[in-house]
Amino acid sequence: MKKWISYGVLCLLVPAVVLCGALLFPAKQYAWISFCVALLSCLPVFLQFEHKKVSTKRLILIASMTALSVLGRILFTPIPGFKPVTAMVVITALYFGSEAGFLTGSLSAVISNFWFGQGPWTPFQMFSWGILGMIAGLLAGPLKRSRILLAIYGALSGVLYSVLMDVWTVLWADGFFNLSRYFAALASALPFTAIYAVSNVIFLLLLCKPIGKILERVQTKYAL
């Protein structure tokens, strides 16, 4: 039951809040929409709390992965599109589950945007990185066993991020969803999408194994 509630919140309620915020409220309301998305992203993780000590340690590790994700995005600011955020979100999901992956992606967006700038795009970034983490958690077994599948997922996640974010591009430009403008936005974003997809593959192949070993040792030590 907890799993179904979690997936319902992440797959239905969060995108509904993001879209309603974009279509029904003025742009200045994005802060409230981001706040609501952040709260909803936390809910599935809190639903998993059963043993206080274990859950607290798990939450600390998720917070640490979020901090690394935010720091990585800031450090790679000089290279547009070349960011380790998706890699850190995916790694978190592989070792802590879909809910943790979504939470890490969502919080990485809103926290790092205190540096890059908050705006009506923030809720869309929160959902986009969050859903990439959730999907990675669902595919954790195959992705952990095969570096080829991991690389493929990294590339596809770069494409999916662009596909989701360009929904905001069209809504911002027209106030409603225009299919022809959407395809035009996807086409114009191809260079950025390609760079981001390649960066995801590079960061995942470089970071997944060493960080994964550390997380596995911590999980074993603290019985997480």
User: Which of 6-10, 41-45, 122-126 shows the highest mean pLDDT?
Assistant: 122-126
Which of the pair, 90 or 80, is modelled with greater confidence? 90
Q: What is the pTM of this model?
A: 0.89
Q: Please report the pLDDT score of residue 30 as a whole number.
A: 81
Domain chopping of the chain, boundaries: 2-222
Q: Please report the pLDDT score of residue 197 as a whole number.
A: 96
Q: Please report the pLDDT score of residue 28 as a whole number.
A: 64
In three-state form (DSSP H/G/I as H, E/B as E, the rest C), the secondary structure along 138-154 is: HCHHHHHHCHHHHHHHH
Residue 27 DSSP symbol: G
State the Cα–Cα distance between residues 213 and 113, nearest whole angstrom.
Answer: 30
Residue 72 DSSP symbol: H
- pLDDT at residue 196 greater than cutoff 60: yes
Residue 51: pLDDT band (50, 70, 90) is low
Residue 156: pLDDT band (50, 70, 90) is very high
Q: Would you identify the CATH topology of the domain 2-222? A: Arp2/3 complex 21 kDa subunit ARPC3 (1.10.1760)
- pLDDT at residue 187 greater than cutoff 90: yes
